[in-house]
Amino acid sequence: MRVLVVDDEPLTRAALAALLSQRSDVEEFSVADDAQQALATLHDHAFDVLLLDIHMPGLSGLELIESLSEQQHPSPAVVFITAYPEHAVAAFERRAVDYVLKPFVPRRVHEALDVAKRRSSQERAARLLDVMGSIKLQPERANRIAIKDKGRIILIDATELISAEAHGNYVLLQKKAGSYLLRETMAGIAEKLKPYGFIRIHRSVLVNRAFVSTIQCGSGGNYILQTSVGKEYHVSRTYRDNLRGLAQFWIGTEPFGTD
């Protein structure tokens, strides 16, 4: 852990520095003569624990904690080391982890450091969980869907599916190699596959837009989609406006739906 000692008394700073030098779990430590110097140090360097006096010239230790609480970055765990017991309540209201009275004995400071170390580790773990929770799923996981096929649960990549076709009370999911027949409604599967780039081109057919390579005009205002794997699908008049979603820009073409 990284520790910053903040105290205006040279003897106290020296005693705490000697104590910190004895601990194998202290990676580094620094000292500051007053709260203003501490703020400048904290601006440039991150610390896990503050060993902090309360009564100092200029800015007090309590005021220093108030200032840190207004900043965006996480504040270190605080152990107050002071000769004034009347400030204990105010210190704990500011979420101090311990309150050591001067003149202190080394054992008490070591105990306070142990508590601060645990608190700091817990807060770092909580911050890590918050960060991890804010990160979006990686594409590999986000694209995977689970389906039940022949009594098994199979995990497949939705982006590898070419189409979904209604067959009575079932829906056939077609891949480049192989297919899966699911007892599912077309409306239900359309809603689930929409986030993965599927568009509806017929009341019985969904197509993955990533596999569409060409569009041909058919008779009666219909269109024919040809996929990159060679399979063709007919687009009904009802769903032909959905073809607009196949590309971001349409250059030199008439809008779909014009007769």
Structural domains of the chain, with CATH: 2-134 (3.40.50.2300), 140-246 (2.40.50.1020)
Q: How far apart are CA 76 and CA 78, in angstroms?
A: 6
Q: How far is CA 237 from CA 32, 149, 220, 255, in A?
A: 77, 33, 8, 13
Q: What is the pLDDT of residue 135?
A: 43
Q: Is the dihedral of CA 63, 69, 70, 71 positive or negative?
A: positive
Q: What is the pLDDT of residue 255?
A: 58
- Cβ(51)–Cβ(6) below 8 Å: yes
What DSSP string describes 185-197? -HHHHHHHHGGGT
Q: How far apart are CA 240 and CA 237, in angstroms?
A: 5
First vs last Cα of the chain: how many Å apart?
Answer: 73
Q: What is the pLDDT of residue 172?
A: 93
Residue corresponding to tokens 């210190």: 91
Contact partners, residue 37, CB within 8 Å, separation at least 6 = 6
Of the CA atoms within 13 Å of residue 185, those in its CB half-sphere come to: 3
Q: What is the pLDDT of residue 221?
A: 66
Please give the model's pTM, rounded to 2 decimal places.
0.48
Q: How far is CA 49 from CA 27, 122, 138, 147, in A?
A: 12, 13, 35, 50
State the 10-residue block means of pLDDT for the chain, 259 residues long.
94 95 94 93 89 90 82 75 77 75 91 84 57 48 77 86 92 90 91 90 93 83 85 88 81 61
- Cβ(98)–Cβ(80) below 8 Å: yes
Contact partners, residue 74, CB within 8 Å, separation at least 6 = 123, 127
